[in-house]
């Protein structure tokens, strides 16, 4: 089946007013001129489908619920908002809970078809359980542990883990990173009190990414609290100082202020910064109490419709408990907060995450040969139409 799209094509390095030709669910050619077409973006944009490397759920379902029905519900919710590829992300949990999630993702991945209207699973992000004990955030602390080969090898054996997170200072972290490197994963450090020294050791073992920058990670001030003076460089300095390191931001407007979003883009650039949702099951759901992680053992948080909030230990304060919106919101916020040109904003939600996770040959940009995962955006970057491998799927009715 052939199809033509015409309009402002957002390419990796520029916006081109032209025509995109599809053939059998793939991008066949790009013409630098407007031709007759089946679909006209008018004053809007044609962009690659979004790619989310850090996402926990949506539509009432958390990937850790561990059933194909839950996985598919979350994948549908994200696809209906413009995410065409994602990496379901584990929380802390028992070995049984984590294995169950990975198995359910494998089942779902195998039966995926464009007509199912679900975002495609490119792999699993093994995120929990290897976090620092005092940095678990909204994850249940009972499900946290240090990495051991006996534990992590069973997950890697699935062949499905493409992104692997561990706090760099934990005993066993280096062995974990080396095992993940053998599997060619994107290796990341998160929920961590790592010092520069811990990060340098982790880098040697293959670590190249830090989860949700500025959230649940070390800073000069936090390390001073832990270790006293002289003050030490932290994960923040390590990421900013190393061109080989990438990171990600939760640009929901609730976690980070516009100047921090702009700062992250200015410091790391669009090839080393990913937009992620870190979205939980409250996405697309009314405000109220929800569980983060498995339906029966996850910790409770409250969604106010804009973000998740959880009680903060002994104090009366509340802390952020991940986002409740999809990548379309992150893209709009990033475009507003930064001076980045549009093609760079889109890149941070498409080609950059694809490159970092090794799937860029197949998806992540408007280039001949790649899968026709496409979005039509209006001029304000709202998602108007979504195509999975050239097949149009329904949009979400509300946020
Ligand atoms: Zn997190
Ligand atoms: Zn998360």
At 42, which CATH number?
2.30.40.10
Residues 104 and 158 reside in one and the same domain:
yes
pLDDT at position 318: 78
Ligand closest to CA 167: 1
pLDDT at position 326: 98
At 234, which CATH number?
3.20.20.140
Cα of 56 vs centre of ligand 2, distance in Å, is 6
DSSP string, 20-34: EEEETTEEEEEESS-
Cα of 255 vs centre of ligand 1, distance in Å, is 12
Ligand closest to CA 135: 1
Cα of 203 vs centre of ligand 2, distance in Å, is 22
Residues 202 and 162 reside in one and the same domain:
yes
Distance of alpha carbon 3 from its chain centroid, rounded? 30
- Number of separate domains in the chain: 2
Q: Which domain holds residue 348?
A: 49-365
Residues 267 and 388 reside in one and the same domain:
no
Residues 139 and 269 reside in one and the same domain:
yes
Residues 300 and 372 reside in one and the same domain:
no
> In the chain, which residues have pLDDT < 50?
none
Segment (H or E) for 69: helix 68-79
Residues 32 and 53 reside in one and the same domain:
no
Residues 210 and 174 reside in one and the same domain:
yes
What's the pTM value of the predicted model, to 2 decimals? 0.97
Cα of 261 vs centre of ligand 1, distance in Å, is 17
Cα of 133 vs centre of ligand 1, distance in Å, is 13
Residues 392 and 298 reside in one and the same domain:
no
Cα of 146 vs centre of ligand 1, distance in Å, is 16
pLDDT, tens digit (0-9, with 9 covering 90-100), for 273-324: 999 999 999 999 999 999 999 999 999 999 999 999 998 765 566 789 999 9
Name the residue with tokens 């099951």. 281
Residues 354 and 377 reside in one and the same domain:
no
Residues 371 and 361 reside in one and the same domain:
no
- 201: buried, middle or exposed (CB in 10 Å: 19+, 13-18, 0-12)? middle
Distance of alpha carbon 61 from its chain centroid, rounded? 17
Residues 355 and 384 reside in one and the same domain:
no
pLDDT at position 33: 86
Question: From CA 208, how far away is CA 187, in angstroms rounded?
Answer: 6
Ligand closest to CA 280: 2
Ligand closest to CA 323: 2
288 - beta bridge partners?
A: 303
Cα of 250 vs centre of ligand 2, distance in Å, is 10
Residues 253 and 395 reside in one and the same domain:
no
Cα of 225 vs centre of ligand 2, distance in Å, is 25
Closest CA to 56 of 227, 177, 211, 179: 211
Cα of 203 vs centre of ligand 1, distance in Å, is 20
**Is residue 49 helix, strand or coil?**
coil
Distance of alpha carbon 181 from its chain centroid, rounded? 20
Q: Are 181 and 156 in contact (CB under 8 A)?
A: no
Ligand closest to CA 215: 1
């Amino acid at each position: 089946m052939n199809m033509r799209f015409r309009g402002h094509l957002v390419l990796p390095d520029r916006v081109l007013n032209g025509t995109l030709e599809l053939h059998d669910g793939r991008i066949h050619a790009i013409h630098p001129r407007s031709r007759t077409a089946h679909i006209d973006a008018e004053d809007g944009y044609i962009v690659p489908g979004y790619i989310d490397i850090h996402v926990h759920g949506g539509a009432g379902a958390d990937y850790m619920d561990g059933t194909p029905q839950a996985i598919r519900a979350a994948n549908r919710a994200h696809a209906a908002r413009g995410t065409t590829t994602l990496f379901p992300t584990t929380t802390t949990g028992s070995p049984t809970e984590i294995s169950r999630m990975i198995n359910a993702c494998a089942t779902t991945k195998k039966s995926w078809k464009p007509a199912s209207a679900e975002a495609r699973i490119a792999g699993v992000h093994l995120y929990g359980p290897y976090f620092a004990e005092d940095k678990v955030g909204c994850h249940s602390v009972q499900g946290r542990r240090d990495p051991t080969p006996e534990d992590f090898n069973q997950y890697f054996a699935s062949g499905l883990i493409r992104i692997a997170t561990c706090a760099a200072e934990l005993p066993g972290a280096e062995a974990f990173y080396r095992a993940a490197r053998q599997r060619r994963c994107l290796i990341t450090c998160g929920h961590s009190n790592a010092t520069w020294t811990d990060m340098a050791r982790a880098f040697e073992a293959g670590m190249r990414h830090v989860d949700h920058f500025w959230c649940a990670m070390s800073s000069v001030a936090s390390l001073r609290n832990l270790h006293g003076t002289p003050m030490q460089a932290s994960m923040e300095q390590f990421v900013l100082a190393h061109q080989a390191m990438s990171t990600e931001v939760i640009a929901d407007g609730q976690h980070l202020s516009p100047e921090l979003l702009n700062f992250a883009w200015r410091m790391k650039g669009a090839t080393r910064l990913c937009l992620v949702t870190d979205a939980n099951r409250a996405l697309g759901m009314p405000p109220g109490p929800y569980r983060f992680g498995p339906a029966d053992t996850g910790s409770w948080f409250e969604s106010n419709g804009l973000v998740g909030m959880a009680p903060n230990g002994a104090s009366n304060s509340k802390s952020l408990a991940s986002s409740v919106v999809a990548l379309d919101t992150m893209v709009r916020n990033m475009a507003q907060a930064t001076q980045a040109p549009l093609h760079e904003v889109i890149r941070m939600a498409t080609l950059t995450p694809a490159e970092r996770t090794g799937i860029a040959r197949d998806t992540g940009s408007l280039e001949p040969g790649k899968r026709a995962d496409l979005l039509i955006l209006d001029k304000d970057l709202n998602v108007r139409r979504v195509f999975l491998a050239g097949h149009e799927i329904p949009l979400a009715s509300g946020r």
